[in-house]
Every structure is written in structure tokens, then in C-alpha cells.
Chains A and B, each alone.
Chain A
Amino acid sequence: MATLDTIDMADLDAQATARPRRWHIAVFLAPAVLIYTVVMILPLVETLWLSLLRVDPKTNTSFFAGLVNFQTLFGDPRWSASFWNALRNNVWFFIINMVVQNPIGVALAALLSVPTLKGRAFYRTAIFLPTILSFVIVGFIWKLILSPLWGVAPSLLKSVGLRHLFHPWLGMADSALTTVSLISVWQFIGIPMMLIYAALLSIPDEVLEAAEIDGITGWSQFWKIKLPLILPTIGIISILTFVGNFNAFDLIYVTQGALAGPNFSTDILGTFLYRTFFGYQLQLGDPNMGAAIATVMFAIILVGVCIYLFGVQRRLRRYQF
């Protein structure tokens, strides 16, 4: 069958070269390629280019400046302090997301995939709910709940005798970033849960039955059979989280404002880019420095994606059923 197909295709190709140009292919591709190129790819390329330019303050014209913006970003103590602070915070944001969402996601998915469980649709729907809400809603919900003014969080803690544990977490430099990261986990836990759940369901019964015949059941079945089979899914979740976290902006902007307070303790690359581009307080916006930061973010994401594609994904064995 396969050989027949290829012969057919070769035939068609031979005819195609003999036929006049197949314009319909161009017509089918044109709108998507045009919009994608003009609105997405060219601006991305232009942003990389803008990071190499400076504006002459006297004539107000751009000129090629080489790597001057990057020298400022990494060399000027004020810029580099802000940059490394944002990058460090961003890494911590990502770590908290990964460390908290994956175990909880796997645990919830494992519970949901138990065949005898009743009320599965209800649990699924309820736990996925925060994922569909916008950052604005999520950010404000938690801002209100954690606010010492309203007192929902303190009174809840009081009811279990832990009132002394309450602090205005979002307002304190030590805990604000971790709190925002946990809010982000709360919002997005549905995605790892559903993807892992789907991966668990796609494990064929024969594999599990074979394991049971070999006496591998319960916990050891989960660790030895199921977990290795869902590792590729966890890899995909990790890279999705990585890309999402390293261009995150909205949640921090909503809960902590563009200044990513208190004292820049929640500043990540996205908010740093926004402030640099648009300016804040007395500092004027600087598109070229903004472009330089966007270029660095681009490089970080590219490195992450490459590590995933060439390092992680190749090594994870894909099981074909």
C-alpha cells in the first residue's frame, strides 16, 4: 500500500511539473502567510534590528550603534542590577511554577483517571475553572482575598488556629514573588492536569494488564509503568510553562502594578520590558533599550526551546502503541 501511494504521488508530481503553475496552492497559502509574516515575523526581526540602533537626541534620528544597548544593559550598574534582578525573579517564578504544578497536576490526573471514580466530569470542570479566567480577574480575586483590609485570609486562618501565620504576603518583599507564583499555579493547574490525564487515559489496557499479570499493581505500577509513559507529556508541559513564564507580564502588572513592587521584588522580564519601553515615573521610555531586552528574552526562550527539542525530547523514548 505504501509503495503504491508513493508511486501515485510521484506520478502526480510528474504531471504537476507538466501542468501550468498550480495557482490554487498560492491562493490557499497567501492570506495566512501574509498576515503571519507582516504582523509577527517582520516585527520580531525588526525588534532584533532596533536593539542595535540608538536615537540621536539632537536630530531625533536613528543610527546604527552596534552592541551599545547591550553594553548598557549588562555594563551600566543601574541597568544590569535591574536586569539581573528581573532575570533572577523570573527564574524563581518558573521554578515555583514547575515544582508546585507538576506534582499536583500528576496527583490530580492520577486520581481522575481511576476507572471506578464517580463524579469525574464535575471535578474536571471545577478544577479547570480558574484557567479560563483572565489575569485581571485572577489577580484581583487574590489581591482582595489576601488583603489585610478585608480579612478573609486572616479569619480563615483564625478558624484553624493559625491566625499568627497571616502576613500581607503580597505587600512584603520577601514573600511577594512566591505568592504571585503560587497564584499563577492556582490559575494554570488545569492545563498540566488535563494533559497528564489525557496521557494516562491513552495508556492501553494491554500494558496495564500485562503489568498486573507480572504482579505490578498499585503504587509500584504508577511509578514503574505509568510515570515513564507520561514523561513526554511532562516534557511538553515544562516547555509550555517555560515559554509562558518567560514572557509573563499580566499577572504581575495586575497585582503589583508596572513597578512590580514592593521594591521591584516581583519584577520579571516582561514587566522590566514594559517599563523600559514605555517609561515610568521620571524615566522616559526607550524603545531601543526595550528592543534589547526583548532580544535577550528571545534568546532565553530560544535556548530553552532548543534544549527541549534537542536535549530532552530526543532522550525521552516515545512509546508507540
Chain B
Amino acid sequence: MSRARFSLPRSAAMHAALILYTIIAVAPVLLIIINSFKDRRAIFSHPLALPGPKSFSLVGYQAVFSQGSFLTYFENSLIVTVVSIALVLLFGAMAAFALSEYRFRGNTLMGLYLALGIMIPIRLGTIAILKLMVATHLVDTLTALILVYTAQGLPLAIFILSEFMHGVSDDLKNAGRIDGLSEYRIFFRLVLPLIRPAMATVAVFTMIPIWNDLWFPLILAPSEATKTVTLGAQMFLGQFVTNWNAVLSALSLAILPVLILYLIFSRQLIRGITSGAVK
């Protein structure tokens, strides 16, 4: 019925508009990656051309690997992100379970208190956070970053997860109780496996801002040993700003892991955003 409305010219116009915007979105990223494989002369004389046998060069990548400690930065980012996500998921799910499963005095108040952090950015407390980390000797440790990112991720995680916890069947939990399972076992054995899809959504939402953050690594952990990829790339790019090969290669190295992960998980990510959990 509605098919008649979408004639061929109309559909062509739609595709033209979408392709145009797709080019705007993707071309800048491709441009950087393509040029990172060219020699300096080709970068400037033919920036839009693909690397050919004449212009192909890895000199930028060699510069990056000889100068920067990108592997360490990468490892730091990975540790911080994975541990923070694990803590956010575990503690967030536990708190969400307590809030959605039990009625106790102050339940609503506690829910509101924990939801405050969804709207108020943790960055505004940076000055006191730095004081706290100095006082506890956590400056320039990955622990400082993990603590901050866990606190930052918890409010939204608790909010999303408790929405999902409401959907877990009461009969199932009560059956568990009759069988003599403790509340802890009910949570870990029955409830957690059932909310795995929601946990994936939360993981993705938590991961992107942590991996990409520049503010807290810059302030809390700027030492060489604790730099994250984002901060390391920023410093490296600032130092080598005139070495175009190195800059383009460093950018490509920072893009590629994220790009590969994104292409693998884009379906889950987009399904997570559109699942209605965050409306």
C-alpha cells in the first residue's frame, strides 16, 4: 500500500542524501588512514590518491614505534577500561537488584540519590577529586582512574539495569526462595544470567566515554607509565606536529583498534541504543 509512494526517483534521491552524509562522516577518517601509508611528498602533492607502489611508505609507523611507547599506553587503556566496566557492571547490578527487588525504608530516596549522577558531570568535582587522590597517594596510578570511571559509570548503569530487573519474573525468584536459595544465590545464579543483554548495553555505554576520556588521565595520571592511549596520542601529536608521516600514522593507530571493535560490535551497540532502555 505504502510502496506506491516511493517511486524510483524518490528512492534515488533518498540514497543520494544518505550517501552524501555517509561521505561527510567517513571520508575524513579514511583520508587520514590512506595518507598514513604514503611518503611525505605524496601526502602533500596528492592527498586524495590511494597509496601506489611509488608512494607507499611506512616511515610514519616506524617513527611512532621507535618514539612512543604506544604498547604501554594501549595496555593502560585496556586495563582501566576493562576493570572499570567490570566494577560498574557488578556493583551496578547489585545495587539495581537491591533497589528493584526489596522494599525498604528510603528505597525511593536512595534511587534518586544514585540517579543524581546521571545529570551532574563528575568533572565538576575534579579539584576535590585530585585532592583526594593526592591524600591517598593514588595520583599517577591506574587505580585513581578506575575509581573515578566506576563512580562515573554507576548512576546510568543502576538506572538502566533496574528497569530491566523489574522485568525478571517474580515466580522464578520465589521458586528459588522456596528451594532454599539464599538472596545472594538468587541474584548471581538466577537474575544475573537473565539480564545479560542489558549488561551488554551498559558495557558499551560505559566503555566509549572511558576509552576516549582525556580530562582525567591528563589531571590524575599524566606520568609516562600510566598514560592512556588517548592522552599518549595527544602528547605525541603535540610533539611531532611537524612530522606529518608520524602524526598520520599515530592517528591511524589510535583509530584502527576502535574501528575494528566497532565494526564487530556495531550491531549490538546500535541495538543497545535503540532498545528503548535509554529513552
Where the two chains meet, the residues of A that have a C-beta atom closer than 8 Å to any C-beta of B are 9, 12-13, 16, 22, 24-25, 27-29, 31-33, 35-36, 38-47, 50, 104, 107-108, 111-112, 114-117, 119, 121-137, 140-142, 144-145, 150-152, 155-156, 186, 189, 191, 194-195, 197-199, 201-202, 212, 217-218, 232-233, 236, 239, 243, 247, 249-250, 253-254, 270, 277-278, 287, 290-291, 294, 297-298, 301-302, 305
Contacts and interface: CB of A to CB of B under 8 A. Distances in A.
B116 A32 contact: no
B103 interface: yes
B91 interface: yes
Interface centre among A32, A112, A123, A232 (most CB of B within 10 A): A32
Contacts of A145: 28, 31
Given A135-B212, A194-B274, A301-B119, A32 B29 contact: no
A132 to B, nearest CB: 5
Contacts of A217: 5
Contact of B114 (A36, A195, A201, A232): A36
25 contacts: A24-B182, A32-B114, A33-B114, A39-B147, A40-B117, A43-B125, A44-B122, A44-B128, A47-B124, A47-B125, A50-B128, A111-B14, A125-B262, A125-B263, A125-B266, A129-B26, A130-B25, A132-B208, A135-B214, A151-B47, A152-B48, A194-B270, A198-B273, A202-B276, A250-B213
B258 A29 contact: no
Nearest to A40: B151
A152 B43 CA distance: 10
B103 A250 contact: no
Place the interface of chain B in its size category: 35 or more
Contacts of B131: 43, 46, 287
Interface centre among B151, B154, B244, B262 (most CB of A within 10 A): B151
Interface centre among A25, A199, A236, A291 (most CB of B within 10 A): A25
Contacts of A46: 125, 128, 131
A258 to B, nearest CB: 10
Nearest to A138: B28
A35 B147 contact: yes
Contact of A198 (B48, B97, B215, B276): B276
Q: Which 9 A-B pairs have the closest CB atoms?
A: A43-B125, A134-B212, A198-B274, A43-B128, A28-B98, A46-B128, A32-B95, A39-B151, A44-B125
A41 B113 CA distance: 9
A127 B247 CA distance: 25
B50 interface: no
B120 A298 contact: yes
Contact of A32 (B47, B94, B124): B94
A39 B208 CA distance: 20
Contacts of B28: 130, 141-142, 145, 186
Given A32-B158, A108-B18, A116-B3, A140 B237 contact: yes
B66 interface: no
B60 interface: no
A134 B31 contact: no
Nearest to A199: B279
A136 B25 contact: no
Given A29-B95, A35-B154, A134 B214 contact: yes
A291 to B, nearest CB: 5
Interface string B253-279: 011001100110011011001111011
Given A29-B110, A130-B25, A150-B44, A254 B270 contact: no
B127 A39 contact: no
Contacts of B47: 150-152, 155
Contacts of A117: 11, 14
Given A9-B103, A249-B214, 6 more contacts: A39-B147, A41-B113, A44-B122, A134-B211, A152-B47, A250-B213
A134 B234 CA distance: 10
A236 B278 CA distance: 10
Nearest to B184: A24
A291 B127 contact: yes
B254 A277 contact: no
A35 B25 contact: no
A169 B5 CA distance: 43
Contacts of B124: 44, 47, 247, 294, 297-298, 301
A23 to B, nearest CB: 9
B266 A128 contact: yes
B169 interface: no
A121 to B, nearest CB: 8
Contact of A28 (B11, B97, B254, B259): B97
Contacts of A290: 127
A212 B4 CA distance: 13
A36 B25 contact: no
Contacts of B48: 152, 155-156
Interface centre among B119, B182, B187, B262 (most CB of A within 10 A): B119
Contacts of B9: none
B6 A41 contact: no
Interface in B139-157: 147-148, 150-152, 154-155
Contact of A294 (B31, B92, B127): B127
B123 interface: yes
